[in-house]
Amino acid sequence: MSNAAELISGFADPVRDSQQVFRQLLDAMSRPGTIVTLEPLEVLEPLCSATQALALALFDYETPVWLPSDLLAQSGAWQSIKFHTGCPVTADPTQAVFALLPGVAELPSLECFSIGNEEYPDRSTTVIVQVDSLTSGSGVTLNGPGIKDPVMLDATLFNAEFIEQWNRNHALFPLGVDLLLTCGDQLAALPRTVKLA
C-alpha cells in the first residue's frame, strides 16, 4: 500500500494496459455476473486495484465524474486518477458520465443518475461501486441477454431494497444506468439489460 501523500504511477504501458482493461470490461459486460480478474495495480486507499484500473482506462478530460464526498475528492487516490486522466468532477450526478463510489454505504438511489434519453440511451451514468465481497455461484440470480444458463452473483450490495431499485432501473431499458462492481482486483458487471431475482 502506498503512502496517501504520493501519486500512484498509473499503468506501466498506458495504451496497452488501458486496452487490456477495456477488453476485460467488455467481457464482463457481455457475460453479466461473471467475475473477471484484472492485473493488480499499485493502489491508494480508499480505492482498490480494480476500481483504479477502470478509472485509468475509462476516464478522460471529456468524462465528468461524480464523487460521493469531498473526502474522496481530496484523497491521494483521486488526485492520482485526476493527474493521469484529466477528468473533471461534477457536483451534479445527472451530468456524470461515471460515478465512483468507494463503498456500498455511499451509493445513493440509482434514480439520481442520468438514465440517458430516447435519442441517446448511451448518455447515461456508469456507476462504479466497490464492494467488500464479490463471489459467484451464490446470492442473486441474474436473467437477461448474454446469460444462457442461470448465473448467481453475491455482493455486499445485494439486499431487498437494492434489488427492487435495480429492477426498476432494468424496466427502463433501453434507458437506465449500468453498474460495475469491484473488489480487490476483481470486476463484475450489471448492465441495465439484467434483471435480479
What CATH number is attached to the domain comprising 41? Answer: 3.40.50.11310
- pLDDT at residue 83, rounded to an integer: 92
Q: Distance of CA 128 to CAs 26, 40, 98, 122, 186, Å?
A: 15, 17, 7, 16, 12
Instruction: Assess if residue 51 is contained within a domain.
Output: yes
Question: Does residue 150 lie in a domain region?
Answer: yes
User: What pLDDT was estimated at residue 57?
Assistant: 96
Percent of the chain, pLDDT > 70?
97
CA 96 to chain centre: 13
Residues 6+ apart with CB under 8 A from 71: none
What rounded mean pLDDT belongs to the chain? 92
DSSP string of 75-99, one letter each residue: SHHHHHHHHHH-PPEES-GGG-SEE
Domain containing residue 69 = 14-196
Let me know: does 49 contact 41? Beta carbons within 8 Å.
yes
Contact 127, 133 (CB under 8 A): no
Q: Determine, yes or no, domain membership for 69.
A: yes
Q: What would the mean pLDDT of 91-115 be, rounded to a whole number?
A: 95
Least trusted range by pLDDT, from 7-21, 59-73, 127-141: 7-21
Residue 192's pLDDT is 96
Whether residue 3 lies inside any domain: the answer is no
- Residue 43 placed within a domain: yes
Does residue 87 have a pLDDT over 60? yes
The β-bridge partners of 89 are 65
Confidence at 3, pLDDT banded by 50, 70, 90: very low
Q: What is the pLDDT of residue 149?
A: 85
Give me the mean pLDDT over the 126-134 stretch.
Answer: 96
What pLDDT was estimated at residue 69? Answer: 87
pLDDT band at 39 (very low <50, low <70, confident <90, very high): very high
User: How many residues in total does the chain contain?
Assistant: 197
Residue 136 pairs with which residues in a beta bridge? 153
Asked if the structure places residue 188 within a domain, the reply is yes
Work out the burial of residue 165: count CB atoms within 10 Å of its CB; fewer than 13 is exposed, 13-18 middle, 19 or more buried: middle
Query: Does 4 reside within a domain?
Result: no
- Distance between CA 159 and CA 184 in Å, rounded? 21
* Position 7 in a domain: no
More confident residue, 136 or 169: 169
Instruction: Name the domain count of the chain.
Output: 1
Give the per-residue pLDDT at 6. 66
